[in-house]
Structure 1
Amino acid sequence: MNLILWRHAEAEEIAASDLARQLTTRGRKQAQNVARWLRTRLPEDAVILASPAARTMQTAEALTDQYRVVREIAPNASVEAVLEAAGWPEGIASTVVVVGHQPTLGEVLATLLGNETNSDGSVRRSWPVKKSGVYWIKSRERNGDGEAVLFAAITPELV
């Protein structure tokens, strides 16, 4: 399975509610640039899941209008909710793109790819993910054990 975690692009700071926050002009450009990079690499049968927040749906729409809104991956979702929605590690499809939020996406990364330690020796529970950043993870089996392998990490500035 390919699991692609895509943080929503830059959004306005103030709106009627957190879920209503829209992408800024810069955010729309970020989403379009990353979507262009993804579009050339995704299989046609990739499944796109977006949080019910306006900013995640607008980010997903830069890629396609064929996406599913999954309320379980709304802001502050659990790692388990994201992995369950995607069907990790077998997958609900061979490639699943989750358009979501920090710190949840960073927590998914820390869980799948291994925790690091902070300077004080405590375990880091979340990785930083830039706005409109993408982490592409592949699941595989090696010696009878499941593994998560980082395939790509992209920021809008790199595409």
Structure 2
Amino acid sequence: MRPTVIVLASGRGERFTASGGTTHKLQALLAGKPVLQHTLDAVRASGLPWRLEDAGHPGMGDSIAAAVRATWPSSGWLVLPGDLPLIRSDTLRSIAAALQTHDVVVPLYRGQRGHPVGFHARCGEALLNLKGARGAAAVVLARGAFELDVQDIGCVTDIDTVDDLRAAGLLINP
């Protein structure tokens, strides 16, 4: 059994609209496609099972818990925010592979922690009990995280503002 990629798409994207965005950040166009579509394309290309969690939960912890519940049982989960349109499918596969020997795996790009964060099935009960806006930070802290060096700027390139969208566009079309 392979770990499941959970794509989180329940947030309101308020910082994006506050920065001048005219649509939800996940629907904003990047190189002619919505941000979320770029993320989902990479997930599909990884070959891993996946679930889009877009039910509008009150916090990231609630979204993660709902997605884990919906995909139970699994050998683990990769928690991927939907606003990482440059994530590479090989990064997803590398994190999934590292879960064979680690409880929690965090990608590290040039010293900066990114996403998705991978969780082995041993973390399942803790993930099911998450609530609120802090996501799975408490699980990462409690279990410790293996930092996996990756050469993927996409794991740290999220879209929170119009400027972030513009910067991601330059990375796609330099």
TM-score by length of 2: 0.34
Task: Please identify which structure carries the higher helix content.
Answer: 2
TM-score by length of 1: 0.36
